[in-house]
Amino acid sequence: MSMDTQSATSIDIIPATADHIPAITTIYAWHVLNGNGSFEETPPNNAQMLERFNALIEQSYPYLVAILGGEVVGYAYAGPHKARSAYRFTVEDSIYVNQDFTGKRIGSRLLEALINVCKQDGYNQMMAVIGDSNNAGSIGLHKAHGFEPIGIAKSIGYKHGKWMDVVYMQREL
């Protein structure tokens, strides 16, 4: 069923499982190859994505998927912001939506659910580390959910033949 016949309210946000990894890998690969949100340049394969997924789940970080018509159309997770123990109450979010479903509030639903889970899990702060200061969609999404810009690292990444910034945003949980 297309998004035209289903509304964003019919999207289910559920905890991700290993069975979702092939769809997650496909979504992320598109963003790695075509977008600026991730500074990876070579898409990881299913085994690598499963390893990353398991590492987060083993540390009890939340990992969610958006399901529409039985299909994974987006995912979001929180992970450690920094490795040192003093940062243990701060998480960093990541959100990716299937390119055919952007602009349909799926990212918003995922971020809202992720924020709620992180609050329930006792985290204090959530950081957004957004690739490319021209990434208006991600910056706007985070602003709409209470994140405030806290800085920009200028020309820190080189991808697709150009230098790109990283935008840092933060939200108290």
pLDDT in tens, 67-86: 999 999 999 999 999 999 99
Euclidean distance between CA atoms 162 and 40, whole angstroms: 14
**E strand or H helix at 73, and its extent?**
strand 71-80
How much is the pLDDT for 29? 98
- Nearest partner of 25 among 56, 40, 46, judged by Cα: 46
How much is the pLDDT for 7? 52
How much is the pLDDT for 2? 40
How much is the pLDDT for 30? 98
How much is the pLDDT for 8? 55
How much is the pLDDT for 1? 39
In the chain, what are the domains? 8-172 (3.40.630.30)
Cβ contact 121:173 at 8 Å: no
Q: Spell out, as residue ranges, where the chain has pLDDT lower than 70.
A: 1-9
Euclidean distance between CA atoms 59 and 85, whole angstroms: 13
54, 57, 62, 66: CA torsion to nearest 10: 40
- Phi-psi bin for 70: left (phi > 0), alpha (psi -120 to 50), beta? left
- Mean pLDDT over all residues of the chain? 94
- Nearest partner of 98 among 90, 87, 110, judged by Cα: 110
Alpha-helical segments (H) within 7-144:
21-34, 46-58, 106-120, 136-144
